[in-house]
Structure 1
Amino acid sequence: MDEDAVRPLDIGVVAQGPPSARLGGLLRRVARGDDEAFDEVYGLVSPSVYGLARRILRDPAQSEEVAQEVLVEIWRTACRFDENRGSALAWVMTLAHRRAVDRVRSEQAAADREARAAASETHRPFDEVAEEVGDRLERERVRRCLDTLTDLQRQSVRLAYYGGYTYREVARLLATPLGTVKTRMRDGLIRLRDCLGVEW
């Protein structure tokens, strides 16, 4: 049997349950690779397999997928059927039950993984007190470093970085040549960088 060419399930048929003795004989033939025997097995058990999967999964599409998987498994493992351990129908329905339950567990595991991923992506609650303390300490540190600058450096940096003025505007406001303002600001920023211990 070509496993990629499994025919669609005939789910319109309601099975009353195939005669187990006949099914057992068919499974023995399937185990020897008999395609015709598998066709008969397929016709006999597919409605029951689908019905059981549907009761467990409730979703028609997933039930059909599981039923197809079970029928492929029957083709592959028919040689494992042992009539001394139970009826052929019980063996088939056990395969179907296990496969359907595995699908439920797999779906639940996927849902749990998604829930965990979503939970890990949520941001931790914002701690306003810690943020405020951190900001206050950082401002105090910057203020102390600014105090180490000369008056012209400090004024130039404050006007440019806190006031948003251009070099030319700072030079005009401080009545200082533009070149001097640029030099003092550069020197002041170097001292600030060293004081704050940051890379620019």
Structure 2
Amino acid sequence: MNGTGWSQQGETSAIPERFEEALLSIRDTPRPRGLVLEEVPAPSRMAPYAAALTAETVHTVGGTPVGSGRFVILHDPAGQESWDSDFRMVVMVRARLDDEVHVDPLLGTAAWSWLTDSLDDAGAGYHALVGTVTRVLSETFGGLELSDACGHAEIRASWSPATADLSPHLTAWYELILMASGHEPALVRPLSLAGDRQ
């Protein structure tokens, strides 16, 4: 990350060494084919320091990515009691679902297991994991007539990483997007400069 995607409260320009270490740890994290990444402005009110990325699948349906997500790193050098850490990860993943999957009563449990399996597979040490899985029915109207309707799963979660090495957490987020979108992760290249589009 080149600095355009991280935010800082206050007037000083220097960033804490641990936050810089965290940003450097994700720079060369292998990323999958089929994802377009972008460094975006980070939220400024949740922590003194923050950085954010978005991703979306190259594969689209009707011009809309099958899957997308947001990855946010929060850092408070003083720590926050609710985090039990000085770092907090906040992620969101949204994926289009087949009709039969959208109505499956076990969708919430399955989608949450995609997240925990991704974290475990990547070897991402974490604690204080919380989140939600939401079903969304999107209806698109052309004029006054319904032209398209599809279901989505939206996974929102946050957790505290065990160390400032956030590479496994980024890998887990990539895997979650691909799993939710019905694709197998295939890590092939390092994360390049912010805004690089595949």
TM-score in same-fold range (> 0.5):
no
Structure ranking higher in helix proportion: 1
Structure ranking higher in strand proportion: 2
Band the TM-score falls in, shorter-chain normalisation: under 0.3
> Rg larger in 1 or in 2?
1
